[in-house]
Structure 1
Amino acid sequence: MLLGSCTDPGAIVDTNTQIADHNWSYVNRAKFDCKIDDEKAAYNLYFNLRVTDAYKYSNLFVLIHQKNPNGYIKTTRYELKLASKDGQWLGKGSGNLYSYQVPFQSGFKFPVKGTYHFEIEQNMRDNPLHEVSDVGIRVEKVK
């Protein structure tokens, strides 16, 4: 299920996918498309995440697969810090959910115009990874 929340005029894409039963498996990649009309502009790319307060780790490793319009796929592994060393959540809390918007590429220039496809895969040892509510992506033009 896609949840769109693109009310910010600076965002090209800002959308999330709900994770069924809060159990994110390796094969359940979150998939997003982003149409780029200006390859000369710089963009900031963010990883969106919501976890419950029962999530048992202070971090999250993900693989982000980015496919350009020419079919080239680039995969990069990222570590997202979710809690401080003393166990305090770093995200914005609402009820039992904590929300994060973590930059993973700043000032990025897409090489060509067209539609880019992103897939986000959890890369932790647990499969499925419990207590992950939503995963998403945000792409915005640098102002």
Structure 2
Amino acid sequence: MNNFKAFLLLSIGITITLFSGCDTNNVIDNNISMPSRNWSYANKVKAVVDITDAGKTYNVYFKLRHTADYGYSNIFVLFHLRESGQKKQSRRYEYRLAQPDGQWNGSGSSNLYTYTLPLLTNYKFPKAGKYELEIEQNMRDNPLKEISDAGIKVSALSK
């Protein structure tokens, strides 16, 4: 009986630690599927985030899924950030999706590879308010073939 009580207490303690030990909480986590696995210039990934505490720090991620038939080892994207009523700020990112030997960097199961790639880390929004986030593919191919879906994730870091 004592072993059972010790096991039960240990199990409860591990469960509490797992749920309370998380250092982030997702403010936004969205994905959009690409029609016929083709990401066109016009098909931008958009999200609006409402920042209530400008003192907090956030991580902003680009989420991507592609098939094994994706034709490149990298991807270029444009990331746009706009505070309500303000001018849009844009930045171009390049992400390496594969090793020189062709091995995909993403986590995969069968024919689909998944990435969560950093856009902004430990970022403080200038002030409280609504911000529009937008990602567009910036490769030469339009549409960019074999992209299953793309998304934006914003996580608030604990203080």
RMSD: 1.3
One-letter identity of the residue aligned with 1:35:
D
Shift of 1:68: 0.8
Shift of residue 71, structure 1, vs aligned partner: 2.4
- 1:104-142 deviation per Cα after TM superposition (whole angstroms, max 9, x unaligned): 111101011111111111000111100001110111112
Q: Residues of 1 paired with 2:81 and 2:35: CA distance?
A: 23
Deviation at 1:47, TM superposition (A): 0.5
Alignment match of 2:104 (pick from 69, 89, 113): 89
Q: How does 1:105-120 map to 2 (within 5 A)?
A: 105-120=120-135
1:122 paired with 2:140, answer no
The secondary structure found in structure 2 opposite 1:76 is strand
Supply the distance in 2 between the matched residues of 1:109 and 1:120 (Cα, whole angstroms): 19
User: 1:127-142, aligned counterparts within 5 Å?
Assistant: 127-142=142-157
Which structure has the highest strand share of the two?
1
Q: Give, in whole Å, the separation in 2 of the partners of 1:142 and 1:62.
A: 25
Which residues in structure 2 correspond to 1:7-18 (within 5 Å)? 10-18=25-33
Residue 52 (structure 2) aligns with = 37
Structure 2 runs not aligned, ≥5 long: 1-21
3-state SS of 1:21 partner: helix
Partners of 1:120 and 1:79 in 2: CA distance: 12
Larger Rg: 2
- Equivalent position of 2:73 in the other structure: 58
- Normalising to structure 1: TM-score of the pair? 0.90
With normalisation by structure 2, the TM-score equals: 0.82
Runs of 4+ in 1 over 4 A off after TM superposition: none
Say whether the 8 Å CA contact 2:50–2:130 is kept in structure 1. Answer: yes
Where do 5+ consecutive residues of structure 1 fail to align?
1-7
